[in-house]
Amino acid sequence: MLEVSVTGLSELEKCERCFWYRTKRIYAPKIFPTILTALDGLQKRDTALRTQKGQDIRWLHEGTPLPGITKRMKATYNGITLKGEIDELVKVSSGYKVIDYKSSASPYELDKANHYYQTQLSAYAFLCEQNGFSPVVDAELVFYCPYFLEDKNAVFEIFRVPLTVNIPKVKMLLSRASEVMQMPSPPLGSSCDWCRYCEDRMRYR
């Protein structure tokens, strides 16, 4: 059975050659500061604790978070299994809303947010629906942006950026992922700096 992560699916959309190298366990270098990982964990814990205590959540305008659910999910489509871990799922009156936390100097404009994160949030929506949380009617990025620092305490402003969910796009990408993963050599077409780096690494393995 073929498997792809939500991160891998997003990479497929950006560069099919990079995605093919990823399936061969050849990765371009990634720089992801550990401070962002720590902030992500704090945001999740804060939401869970506030929900348990019945306290207000600053970014939540409607609905109830479901912190107790299994957030690592899998779903199979057309012979390929998608796997991923959502940050937050909120029950709203018309269904469910997928939330993903981001830490940034400032929130992204809507067009930029959709460009970089629509596939990721749509893939999470697909996973939720396939695991019984249907329909997913909305998705949001919740940006935590540093605002003020005093006496070793940091204050963050919170911004909500709604995204468009496109599940048909996810299904199309999953079908294409299956095709690319079974290719004996990288797909033809334009290449980027990172997949040229991966090509060099593969040549000297």
Segment 94-130, tens digit of pLDDT: 999 999 999 888 889 989 898 899 999 999 999 999 9
Domain count for the chain, please give it. 1
User: Tokens representing 167?
Assistant: 């599940």
User: Tokens representing 57?
Assistant: 């959540």
Query: Which domain covers residue 159, as residue numbers?
Result: 2-203
Pairing state between β 2-5 and 80-85: parallel
The DSSP symbol for 24 reads T
Dist CA 152 CA 64 (whole Å) = 32
pLDDT score for 203 = 66
Q: How many CB atoms lie within 10 A of CB 115?
A: 11
Residues 96 and 124 sit within 8 Å (Cβ to Cβ): no
pLDDT band at residue 33 using 50, 70 and 90 as cut-offs: low
Over residues 149-175, the pLDDT tens digits come to 877 788 888 999 999 899 999 999 999
Over residues 133-149, the pLDDT tens digits come to 999 999 999 998 888 88
pLDDT score for 71 = 92
For 137, counting Cβ atoms within 10 Å of its Cβ (0-12 exposed, 13-18 middle, 19+ buried), the class is: middle
Residues 195 and 21 sit within 8 Å (Cβ to Cβ): yes
What percent of the chain is modeled with pLDDT above 70? 90
- Say which CATH number the domain at 195 has: 3.90.320
The DSSP symbol for 61 reads S
pLDDT score for 44 = 86
